[in-house]
Amino acid sequence: MENREFGAGPATPVPHRGPVPPRHHAGPVTVTGLAVKVVVLGLTVGIAVWAAFPLVDAGAWAGLTLLVAATAGLCYLYLTRRYVPAKYLVPGTLFLLAFQVLPVLYTVATAFTNFGDGHRGSKQEAIVAIQTASVTQVPGSTEYALAVATTGDPATGPLVFLLTDPATGTVSVGDAGGLRQLAAEDVTVDAGGRVTAARGYTLLTIGQAGARSEEITNLAVPTAGGAIRSAGLSRAYEGKAQRTYDAGCDCIRDAESGKVWTADADLGAFVAADGERLAQGWKVGVGFQNLTRVVTDPNISGPFLRTLIWNLCFAVASAGGTFALGLLCALALHSPRVRGRTIYRVLLILPYAMPSFAMLLVWRDMFNTDFGLLNNLLGMHVDWFGNAWSARAAVLLVQLWLGFPYMFLVATGALQAIPAQLTEAASVDGASRWQSFRRITLPLLLVALSPLLIASFAYNFNNFNAIYLTTEGAPFPADNPSVGATDLLITYTYRLAFGGQGAQYGFAAAISIFIFTLVAIIAAVTFRRTRQQEEVYS
Amino acid sequence: MTAVAPPRDRTDRGGPSAGPRRAHRSWVSEVGWRHLVGLLAVAFSLFPILFVVSAAVNPLGTLSSTGLVPSGGISGENFANLFARTAFGRWFLNSVLVAGLASAASVFLSALAAYAFSRMRFLGRRIGLLSLLLIQMFPQFLAIVAIFLIFSTVTDLWPEIGFNTPFGLILVYLGGALGANTWLMKGFFDTLPREIDESATMDGASHAQVFFRIMLPLVTPILAVTALLSFITTINEFLVASVFLTDTEAKTLAVGMYGLIDGERNNNFGIFAAGTLLTAVPTVLLFQFLQRYIVSGLAAGAVKG
């Protein structure tokens, strides 16, 4: 996909096109350039062909069309002499579109649905799941001889049941998608009718099956009247569904109790007259409900506002604190009279070279109540992460340690770029050292470094690792286990989306839209201000 | 990391031109406070590292028995256990492969884009630059559910670039390449005088020759800095990697070592500390290798943002 048409050999002479060459004209074609181009485009086409086969096998015609169009577009772009800027922009943009823009758009779309645990698939999938889950063995159920097999690796591959019907002796393969009969010549069965080998499937040994017994117990093969489930590792039964779907009333009816749950298209769930909901629902659009819930639901808006304020403080204090300490160190070492500056600088940069994920965990363990270094050294037994304020101070201290070496490096570079004449002139005019720092050095530094400070703010605003790898949001108030004192919006969202209380992707996505808007507004305002500043000082 | 010493210091403080007034200043107010700040900062920056070193050589290997200085003797047992009991060697190779390939490719992709944004004028240039800034601010990992779903399909179709492979992870990291680095690099390209490439164009160089033969060598400092920053970010990336890599053999250092300390945080601490020190090795080597560019590159990037 890259375009390297530079020539190693002498460039071929260019015919003169006029007094002024056109802006980004295509230039001469060199032999090496052409060769590199052909090789790279050939590789691209090769990769596309390789990628096409699975698409054909899966019958994914839309995907195939996209692939062919993209490949053809790339070839055209790099063979034509026009569209020079696009030649440089397209490679990165393709990755950006596929792996960043597309997921972001998908997330935004999710924010308007109830996607999450219990609301993952379509209504039909929910009905099948409800019926299958209610299957029980009743007298007279058909019993099958069962062999557990997989199409992939015995330890991780998808499981299937190979079932032999005792009456007819036919063998079928079943998974969560349903039952499918196998041709007799593809399978070998033993005297008891149990399958011992089947083409295209790997049978699990007793040990392998034992290791995955939970999955085997949970696997139910839906059939017309119910489902087939395993009873042990060698027998299976076809049970009857207690709860069945009735298309006439668009409801689920329990055969035993006679209770009826009617489909509610707004909620994406089956609801009974007494308000009871079945756990299995389906995905529906909910409009702006997720977004308004952040504001209107007092259980959410209160913690949300508190988290937002702490989040802002955390980002400002992290960016500001690291900058202040880094700048102080840079100023202190910015003098030829300080001996050993090189060794100071090397030692100060060391934290930056350490792996931050590991050092966050090390810091977490230094704050450990029972074994931690801090309590050992101080001879105390303080639960640092147990109190809201000490926990907040602790995470800020950790951020200071992780971040100041970078600011020190950057500030050192920026200090060296400030002309010495400026401060010299100030001191000749009688300015004190503080005055010349306050009035000359600092403003110049801020102009140079404010884009970095904004970037640092934006980064820390969403600094997931800083919280997740240390306090994990603790301490949590007794009445609300879903949001803790050190939680940032992003760790809070993560807990909503993946936490133990059941995934709520739709709601989590709504909060991520909030976060995005906030950061974007703050950044836009600050960028505008720094641009004005730059105009003033330059 | 030793290249920080500037070619010449241009402060007035204590310089010969500072005038006779300065000579009366005591050494303490002139130089002493600088050493004090330096020493305190070094102490702050070193003590957690000292703790890690002490834990790594602690033969007991537990958190509770580790102090700031190794008191219970020194042994290499933790390092031996690290390789014997975990797949640390594999994690290390995976991390270096992923971070190395991803940062190299991401620097190349963003250099291409930065060249176009800096040197060419085309429809959608401003909008393109602004949207890069905006997209970068969307916390990418919040899209993790979407990325997971997309890659579930990819794994079904092309297992070679799906879950539990380094290449799937690299592809996702490359999605963030333009947003993270293009602005920094464009700023640096902007500082190069246009006359350089214009004269080359007049002499008959193609746009690609200008880019590869003239511009790229001139922006080496910022390439080095971007590569280093991107390498550090990638090797520390935890969240996406933890979703993608579940097989022990496929894990990167961040995922593997998190699992090490997750359950047994007291007992495995020595092994974990040994792993932490070894994880720092590639970064330090890269620092060493790129050191002469680091300060100038960071300063220029900082100025232009």
Q: Domain with A423 in it: what CATH number?
A: 1.10.3720.10
Residues A210 and A190 in one domain: yes
Start-to-end CA span in chain B (Å) = 23
Q: Which residues of B touch A376 (CB under 8 A)?
A: 64, 67
**What's residue A339's pLDDT?**
84
- In degrees and rounded to multiples of 5, residue A8 shows phi and psi of -85, -30
Q: Which tokens in the block code for residue A89?
A: 């922009």
In a domain, A332, yes or no: yes
DSSP bridge pairs for A225: none
What sign does the dihedral A278-A281-A286-A290 (CA atoms) show?
Answer: positive
Does residue A107 sit at the B interface (CB-CB below 8 Å)?
A: yes
What is the average pLDDT score of chain A? 82
Q: Could A335 and B9 be called an inter-chain contact, meaning their C-beta atoms sit closer than 8 Å? A: yes
Among the ranges A127-131, A277-281, A425-429, which has the highest mean pLDDT value?
A425-429
Selecting from A28, A349, A376 the residue whose C-beta is nearest the C-beta of B204 gives A28
Residue A172 distance to chain B (closest CA, Å)? 24
Cis peptide before A158 (omega within 30 of 0): no
CA distance A457 to A477: 27
Chain B interface test: which of A77, A347, A400 (most B C-beta within 10 Å): A347
Lowest mean pLDDT of A13-27, A206-220, A423-437, B116-130, name the range. A13-27
Does A217 share its domain with A303? Answer: no
Give every residue of chain B whose pLDDT is below 70, as ranges. Answer: 1-25, 137-142, 263-265, 294-305
Distance CA B160, CA B154 (A): 9
Q: From chain B, pick out residues whose CB is under 8 angstroms from the CB of A55.
A: 157
Domain total for chain A? 4
Query: In which band, very low, low, confident or very high, does the pLDDT at A394 lie, cut at 50, 70 and 90?
Result: very high
In a domain, A61, yes or no: yes
CA distances from B68 to A378, B51, B53, B266 (A): 12, 5, 9, 16
Looking at residue B97, its pLDDT comes to 94
Sheet strands (E) in A199-302: 202-203, 220-222, 226-231, 235-241, 243-246, 251-254, 260-264, 269-272
Which of these three, A256, A287, A318, is where a domain ends? A287
Q: Which two tokens stand for residue B67?
A: 């102090």
**Residue B11 pLDDT:** 43
What's residue B142's pLDDT? 67
Q: What is the structure's pLDDT at A49? A: 92
Whether A405 is in a domain gets the answer yes
Instruction: Please report which helix (H) or strand (E) contains residue A197, including its range.
Output: strand A195-198
Task: Provide the pLDDT for residue B295.
Answer: 60
H or E stretch at A62: helix A61-79
> C-alpha A298: how far from its chain's center?
28
Residues A177 and A261 in one domain: no
Confirm or reject contact between A370 and chain B (CB < 8 A).
yes
Give the angle subtended at the CA of A22 by the CAs of A16 and A23, to the nearest 5°.
140
Domain boundary residue, one of A208, A241, A274 = A241
* CA nearest to A94, candidates A63, A73, A64, A65: A73
- B26, B29, B34, best to mutate vs chain A, most A CBs in 10 Å: B34
Tokens 């001139």 -> residue: B218
CA distances from A74 to A41, A93, A317, A373, B21 (A): 8, 12, 47, 58, 69
Task: Answer for the pair A4, A78: CB distance below 8 angstroms, yes or no.
Answer: no
CB contact under 8 A, A337 and B30: yes
Residue A165 and residue A122 share a domain: no
Residue B182 tokens, joined = 């293009």
B108 and chain A: CB distance < 8 Å anywhere?
Answer: yes
Nearest to A338 among B34, B112, B142 (CB): B34
Residues B280, B284, B289: CA angle, nearest 5 degrees:
150
Q: What percent of chain A has pLDDT over 90?
A: 13
Enumerate residues 6+ apart whose C-beta is below 8 A from A251: A245, A260, A261, A262, A263, A270
Q: Which helix (H) or strand (E) holds A180?
A: strand A178-181
Tell whether A314 and A382 lie within a shared domain.
yes
- Residue carrying structure tokens 């050999």: A9
Which value does ipTM take for this structure? 0.81
**pLDDT tens by residue, A264-295:** 887 788 888 887 878 788 888 887 888 888 88
Q: Look at residues A122, A128, A123, A131 and name the one whose alpha carbon lies nearest to residue A244.
A: A131
Tell me: the pLDDT tens digits for B217-259? Answer: 888 888 888 888 889 889 988 888 888 888 888 899 998 988 8
Dihedrals phi, psi of A92, to nearest 5 degrees: -65, -40
Could you tell me if A370 and A488 lie in one domain?
yes
User: What pairing do the DSSP bridges indicate for beta strands A202-203 and A195-198?
Assistant: unpaired
Of the pLDDT bands very low, low, confident and very high (cuts 50, 70, 90), residue A68 is very high
Nearest CB to B176; choose among A100, A376, A418: A100
- Residue A18 maps to a domain: no
User: Which of A335, A469, A521 best probes binding to B when mutated, by most B CB atoms within 10 angstroms?
Assistant: A335
Whether A488 and A450 map to the same domain: the answer is: yes
A422 touches chain B (CB under 8 A): no
A490 interaction partners in chain B (CB closer than 8 Å): 139, 141-142
Four-CA torsion A398, A402, A407, A413, nearest 10 degrees? 150
Q: Does A396 touch chain B (CB under 8 A)?
A: no
Nearest to A91 among B109, B135, B236 (CB): B109
Residue A381 in 3-state DSSP? coil
Which of A385-399, A436-450, A515-529 holds the top average pLDDT?
A385-399
**Side-chain-side CA neighbours of residue A484 (13 Å):** 22
Shortest CA gap A118–chain B (Å): 16
- In which residue are the tokens 């190779």 written? B93
CA distance A519 to chain B (A): 7
Q: Which two tokens stand for residue B228?
A: 């280093």
Q: Tokens standing for A253?
A: 């009816």
Distance of alpha carbon A91 from alpha carbon A75, whole angstroms: 12
pLDDT value for B60: 81
Other beta carbons less than 10 A from residue A42's beta carbon: 11
B206 touches chain A (CB under 8 A): yes
Average the pLDDT over A294-309 and give the result.
Answer: 84
Q: Stretch A491-504: mean pLDDT, rounded?
A: 77
Most confident of A44-58, A187-201, A408-422: A44-58
Domain that includes residue A218, residue range: 135-241
Comparing A160-164, A403-407, B132-136, B159-163, the range with the smallest average pLDDT is B132-136
Q: List, in sequence order, the alpha helices (H) in chain B.
A: 20-23, 27, 33-57, 77-85, 88-119, 125-137, 144-157, 166-175, 177-191, 194-202, 207-209, 216-218, 220-236, 239-244, 253-263, 269-304
| Angstrom distance (rounded) from CA A358 to CA B268 | 13
Nearest-neighbour CA in chain B from A233: distance (Å) = 27
- Residue A177 and residue A130 share a domain: no
Residues A371/A362, Cβ–Cβ less than 8 Å = no
Instruction: Tokens 């070094």: give the residue.
Output: B42
Distance of alpha carbon A416 from alpha carbon B299, whole angstroms = 8
Nearest alpha-carbon partner for B293 in B225, B210, B244: B225
Give the DSSP letter string of B233-272. Answer: HHHH--HHHHHH--SGGG--HHHHHHHHHHH-TTTTHHHH
Q: How far apart are CA A531 and CA B100, in angstroms?
A: 35
Residue A17 included in any domain: no
Q: Say if residue A44 is in the same domain as residue A66.
A: yes
DSSP secondary structure code for residue A23 in this structure: T
Same-domain status, A472 and A323 = yes
What pLDDT score does A10 carry?
A: 38
B10, B29, B197, B235: which to substitute to probe chain A, counting the most A Cβ within 10 Å?
B10
Please report, for chain B, the start and end positions of each structural domain, with discontinuous segments joined by +: 25-75, 86-304
Contact A100 B175 (CB under 8 A): yes
DSSP state of A277: B
> Is the same domain home to A384 and A396?
yes
Closest residue of chain B to A403, computed from CA coordinates: B45
Correct CATH for B86-304 of 3.40.1380.10, 3.90.1170.50, 3.10.440.10, 1.10.3720.10: 1.10.3720.10
Q: Which of residues 218-257 of B touch A (CB under 8 A)?
A: 232, 235-236, 238-239, 253-254, 257
pLDDT score of B141: 63
As a whole number of angstroms, the distance between CA A509 and CA A112 comes to 9
Q: What chain A residue is nearest to B111 in terms of C-alpha separation? A: A88
A383 touches chain B (CB under 8 A): no
Output the 3-class SS for A97-150. HHHHHHHHHHHHHHCCECCECCECCCHHHHHHHHHHHCEECCCCCCEEEEEEEE
> Do A96 and A148 sit in the same domain of this protein?
no
Residue A3 lies in a domain: no
The verdict on residue A431 lying in a domain is: yes
Give yes or no for residue A108 having a pLDDT over 50. Answer: yes
Tokens of B113: 């884009």
Q: What angle do CA A355, A357, A361 make, to 5 degrees?
A: 115
CATH code of residue A139: 2.40.430
Which residues of B are less than 8 Å from A431 in CB distance? none
Q: Measured between CB atoms, which of A24, A341, A365 is closest to B63? A: A365
Nearest to B273 by CA among A261, A358, A373, A400: A358
Domain end marker among A76, A110, A144: A110
CA distance B253 to B275: 9
Choose, out of A50, A67, A104, the residue to mutate when testing the contact with B (most B CBs < 10 Å): A104
| CA pair distance A365, A411, nearest whole angstrom | 31
CATH number for the domain that contains residue A283: 3.10.650.10
Separation of alpha carbons A254 and A250, rounded Å = 14
Chain B contacts of A60, Cβ < 8 Å? Answer: 157
Question: Does the beta carbon of B38 lie under 8 angstroms from any beta carbon of chain A?
Answer: yes
